[in-house]
Amino acid sequence: MSTSVYSRYRAAFAEGLASALGVQAADIEAQVKPAEAAHGDLSFATFPLAKAQKKAPPVIAKELAEKLSVPGLEIKAVGPYVNARFNAVPFTSEVLDAARKAGATYGGDADAGRGKTVVIDYSSPNIAKPIGFHHIRTTFLGHCIANIYRALGWRVEGINYLGDWGKQFGLVAVGFQEYGDPARIDDMGHLVEVYVRANKRAETEPAFDEKARDFFRRMEAGDAEALKLWNQFRETSIRGFKQIYARMGIEFEHIEGESRYQGKMDAVIEQIAKKPGVKESQGALIVDLPYAENEPPILLKKNDGSTLYATRDLAAAEDRHTRFQFEKSLYVVAQDQALHFRQVFRTLKEMGQPWADKCVHVAFGRIHGMSTRKGQVVQLNDVLDEAKERAAAKVKENQEAGRLQTDDPDKLAEQIGLGAIAFGDLKHKRATDYTFDWDEVVSFEGHTGPYLQYAHARVVNVLRKGGGAPATYDASLLTLPEEQALVREIMRLPEVVRDAAEQYEPSLVARLLLDVAAALSRYYTLGNQERDKRINVEGNDALRSARLALADAARVTLASGLTLLGIPTPENM
Ligand code: ARG
């Protein structure tokens, strides 16, 4: 497995400590932590040794530090800690070379997931229904998690599991008969309007609701006419969704929906029917899990024989395992569905599927306050349109003020708009709820996508002015604290990407990029104050080359990280 610069140094430090202590390096490695910046790069706390050695931790730390000698590390005791600092040489060139050699793949590791498959269920909107905020989050999060796993060498099977089966089609169908314009059956927006009206009416008019149910029953019974209409609605929706995904640069390995399991659910129901806890109740089939006392039972079949969301998820989980033999099967779905997934996974276990433990609900919180000028019903396309519009206004303003050059302002606005929404979402820890604020997300300053896109374009520009990045350079010239701080942020990307994969947490990557941009910005500020500290310093070619190499590594880090987040990286901004 290819190792990052950081992990190589950490391993070397752990080995040194282990041999000084006469223990295995593997036992020590987890105890080596990042040091506080003022005290070095790595830190080992000696408290746990005090009892056995019958000495005070600071004494142990001092003795250990004196004994230790590890190439590339400067080791010092600070109180009860043994700290290590990376020597600027060769550390600096190792980091810069790792980033620059990897280029667009920096942060990834093609060997880490080799031979393993991850299934990622994400986006998964419902056909002919309005897209909710949760579809926006799952789309961004899922896309990013898929990118991260791919960068780590996993085979990724991204599945857009469309909600394309269920009573809602009955609603659209009976609604279409009343309110639909047959000439607009190809218009996704129209179908959504019809659905919203029909849904409202069904709430107050039981006979209308019954008609919708009846339509769905006909679908499940294989009625050709009902299925034909359903298929038209489905095609219209898929066409509409595909336009949005193209805009976002998302390609699914599979677009398939709940309807795939039509006719295949009897087999699942048969498998489970004999298990304890499964019983008939008022004509319906339910699973009452014995250990889930305060939870409602799972409904597998209604008394009218129609199947449910959970039944289809059980069939889909099995199907995915059969097709892909996955190592992990992720469901990037709102926290609101936690009970559903807990029950589905437990039922799979009850059915004797050993791989049930490989299924993970990657849950996320809500977005509050997201609405567009078009209204409260959030359509992803409208959100992207409005973001683009707002970005276009800023592009124009900056162009007029001479702060921005571009030959394609429309494309740039689209890229900035997408970056704004994507980053505005991904910077939040996925489990937390957040409040959406238009002015904040499209701002070119602060913790935003446009700010990072700008940071990237700016460093591209610095490199351009300097005549490009040099092939060779002398890293020992990069001695400014601002330079060393930037090197350390660049260094972190591979670790952060790995952590983000393990925790299904894109926000870790988002935050690192903010740190890289902040370190770059401090570096520029310094250069603005003192001419000899500029990247493109005059009259010292060797120094300029070294600085350009550092700028290039920063560019690579920003570009690679933004790409993982699904954010475009325009070179002019
Ligand atoms: N279509 C569902 C919804 O919009 C989400 C589906 C998530 N995936 C799954 N396998 N259940 O709420």
Per DSSP bridges, beta strands 81-86 and 73-78 are antiparallel
In the chain, the amino acid numbered 57 is P
- With a 6 Å cutoff on the Cβ, whether 164 touches ligand 1 is no
For residue 356, CA distances in Å to 256, 277, 285, 298, 353 come to 21, 18, 22, 17, 6
In the chain, the amino acid numbered 293 is E
Interval between CA 161 and ligand 1 midpoint (Å): 7
Q: What angle do CA 253, 256, 257 make, to 5 degrees?
A: 145
Whether residue 1 is predicted with pLDDT greater than 70 in this model: the reply is: no
Q: What number of CA atoms fall less than 13 Å from residue 154's CA on the CB side? A: 24
More confident position, 275 or 15: 15
Q: Give the position, in ligand 1's atom list, of the atom nearest the Cα of 135.
A: 4
Whether residue 134 is predicted with pLDDT greater than 90 in this model: the reply is: no
Residue minimizing CA distance to atom 4 of ligand 1 = 125
What pLDDT score was predicted for residue 138? 97
Among residues 545, 542, 550, the alpha carbon closest in space to that of 485 is found at: 550
Matching residue, tokens 């880090």: 557
d(CA 450, CA 442): 7
From 337, 343, 366, 378, the mutation candidate for ligand 1 (largest count of ligand atoms within 8 A of CB) is 337
Which CATH topology does 5-86 take?
Answer: Gyrase A; domain 2 (3.30.1360)
What pLDDT score was predicted for residue 360? 98
Phi, psi of 31 (to 5 degrees): -90, -5
> Which of 23-27, 108-112, 312-316, 440-444 shows the lowest per-residue confidence on average (mean pLDDT)?
23-27
Q: Give the position, in ligand 1's atom list, of the atom nearest the Cα of 333.
A: 7
> Which of 2-11, 65-74, 116-125, 500-509 shows the lowest per-residue confidence on average (mean pLDDT)?
2-11
240 pLDDT tier (thresholds 50, 70, 90): confident
377 pLDDT tier (thresholds 50, 70, 90): low
- With a 6 Å cutoff on the Cβ, whether 163 touches ligand 1 is yes
Whether residue 164 is predicted with pLDDT greater than 90 in this model: the reply is: yes
- With a 6 Å cutoff on the Cβ, whether 124 touches ligand 1 is yes
Contact 158, 253 (CB under 8 A): yes
- With a 6 Å cutoff on the Cβ, whether 165 touches ligand 1 is no
Q: Residues 383-393: pLDDT tens digits?
A: 999 999 999 99
**Across residues 452-481, what is the average pLDDT?**
96
Q: DSSP E strands: which ranges in 310-408?
A: 328-334, 359-364, 367-368
Interval between CA 333 and ligand 1 midpoint (Å): 7
Radius of gyration of the chain from its Cα atoms, rounded to whole angstroms: 28
Q: Give the position, in ligand 1's atom list, of the atom nearest the Cα of 162.
A: 1
- With a 6 Å cutoff on the Cβ, whether 91 touches ligand 1 is no
State the average pLDDT for the chain.
93
Residue minimizing CA distance to atom 11 of ligand 1 = 313
Interval between CA 339 and ligand 1 midpoint (Å): 13
Q: Give the position, in ligand 1's atom list, of the atom nearest the Cα of 129.
A: 4
**Across residues 286-302, what is the average pLDDT?**
77
271 pLDDT tier (thresholds 50, 70, 90): confident
**Across residues 194-216, what is the average pLDDT?**
93
**Across residues 34-45, what is the average pLDDT?**
93
Share of the chain above pLDDT 90, in %: 78
Interval between CA 331 and ligand 1 midpoint (Å): 8
> Which of 77-86, 270-279, 323-332, 398-407 shows the lowest per-residue confidence on average (mean pLDDT)?
270-279
27 pLDDT tier (thresholds 50, 70, 90): confident
Q: The complex's ipTM?
A: 0.99
Domains of the chain, by residue range, sit at 5-86
Whether residue 548 is predicted with pLDDT greater than 90 in this model: the reply is: yes
Contacts of 9 (CB under 8 A, 6+ apart): 41, 42, 72, 73, 84, 86, 91
- With a 6 Å cutoff on the Cβ, whether 126 touches ligand 1 is yes
Interval between CA 163 and ligand 1 midpoint (Å): 6
What pLDDT score was predicted for residue 292? 62
From 161, 195, 311, 339, the mutation candidate for ligand 1 (largest count of ligand atoms within 8 A of CB) is 161
Among residues 281, 324, 279, the alpha carbon closest in space to that of 159 is found at: 324
